Amino acid sequence: MVKPLFLAKDVRYSIYFDATYSPISANTLGQYSMTTSNFGIIGYPLGHTLSPVFQNAALEVHGIDENFEAWPTHPDDLEAKVDSFRAEGFLASCVTLPHKQAVIPLIDGLAETAVAVGAVNWIINDNSHLTGHNTDSPGFLRALTELGEFDPAGKSSVVFGAGGAARAIVHALKSAGVASMTIANRTLSRAEELASDFSDDSISIGSCELTSNDLIEVIAKADLIVNTSSMGMDGGSAPDATPVTADMISSDVVAYDAVYAPPMTPFLKEVEKAGGKTLGGSTMLLLQGAVGFELATGKPAPVDEMFAAVKRATS
């Protein structure tokens, strides 16, 4: 069932998501002794994450005696880490690169959107039963349409990357009714697999390698380009990399980078150089995180305060 959550006084931040989880009650939450953290984020690496900044701001607003922590988790340690989430009192964990698909066989069930996307970015503990949710898809679409003032319906799009974040964004763009979509990835087989997963009678999604000559032509005609890869990410393997350069891009393009650290990535700098419009990943990060906060705590996410905390941290 699709339920509305009004996350702030400003209705621009209202988010709709598929909820099959009954949030922990405030009474139950208050019974826990928060001597260790029961709320955090897993990924590898995690030097870039802003999640603790705005999640801890939200916890403070509600007076919840908890601390949202970053837990760098190597793939070899993932199974043990996820199993630890079944502990009594554990609330939830956000899930980021590279674990959004790898956690699926390690948990007990998936909410509807997580099934549709095929990736998980939140794991909620309910009496040792772990349910995977995906809030990236609605978070991205809200950021794009409400904050970026861009309606993807009927537009042409290119998505760079083929991981968990890409799946959520491809799902969101397809749901929004884009006219065309191409997925570009360093490994062609992964791009082809993702395109095949979401192609149907409503849209045939193309795929190509990042170095393909075909990509140059597609990018030049694109209305929207989205980077979901780790290129340009602080703490990543290619912090100075970008999937495109200014000479490849139309001045009318809108660009979204799911990478949020640094706020102005090499990709977004190239788009600005070409005269295009840019939108940074902290918007999607925060809006998906607001839904996760509500799932974990049963409290309304104070989105205005969460945005303010990110602004202070990045200014």
pLDDT in tens, 224-276: 999 999 999 988 889 999 999 999 999 999 999 999 889 899 999 999 999 99
What's the pLDDT at 6? 29
What's the pLDDT at 270? 98
Q: Largest Cα–Cα distance of the chain, in whole Å? A: 59
Reply yes or no on whether the pLDDT at 21 is more than 50. Answer: no
At 26, the pLDDT band (50, 70, 90 cuts) reads: very low
Mean pLDDT of 305-314: 92
Q: Which of 314, 310, 308, 290 is nearest to 17 (CA)?
A: 290
Q: Would you give the DSSP letter of residue 194?
A: H
At 36, the pLDDT band (50, 70, 90 cuts) reads: low
Q: Which of 264, 311, 233, 283 is nearest to 57 (CA)?
A: 311
Reply yes or no on whether the pLDDT at 31 is more than 80. Answer: no
Q: How far apart are CA 161 and CA 232, in angstroms?
A: 13
More reliable by pLDDT, 306 or 18: 306
Other CB atoms closer than 10 Å to residue 165's CB: what's the count?
Answer: 28
pLDDT digits (tens, 9 = 90+) for 133-157: 999 998 999 899 988 999 999 999 9
Q: How far apart are CA 203 and CA 129, in angstroms?
A: 36
pTM > 0.85: yes or no: no
More reliable by pLDDT, 289 or 16: 289
* Top-tier CATH class for 2-135+288-300: alpha beta
Q: How far apart are CA 91 and CA 89, in angstroms?
A: 6
CATH topology identical between 2-135+288-300 and 138-282: yes
Query: Catalytic one among 9, 100, 155, 174?
Result: 100
Q: Which residue has the tokens 């996410």?
A: 301
| Burial 45-63, CB ≥16 within 10 A → b, else e | bbebbbbbbbbbbbbebbe
Do the Cβ atoms of 16 and 3 come closer than 8 Å?
yes
The pair of structure tokens assigned to 92 is 């939830």
Q: How far apart are CA 48 and CA 58, in angstroms?
A: 20
Q: How far apart are CA 192 and CA 266, in angstroms?
A: 26
Catalytic residue flag (residue 100): yes
Q: Which residue has the tokens 């979401």?
A: 198
Mean pLDDT of 181-210: 97
CATH assignment, 138-282: 3.40.50.720
Do the Cβ atoms of 133 and 157 come closer than 8 Å?
no
| Burial 171-182, CB ≥16 within 10 A → b, else e | bbbbbbebebbb
Domain ranges (residues) in the chain: 2-135+288-300, 138-282
Q: How far apart are CA 77 and CA 100, in angstroms?
A: 14
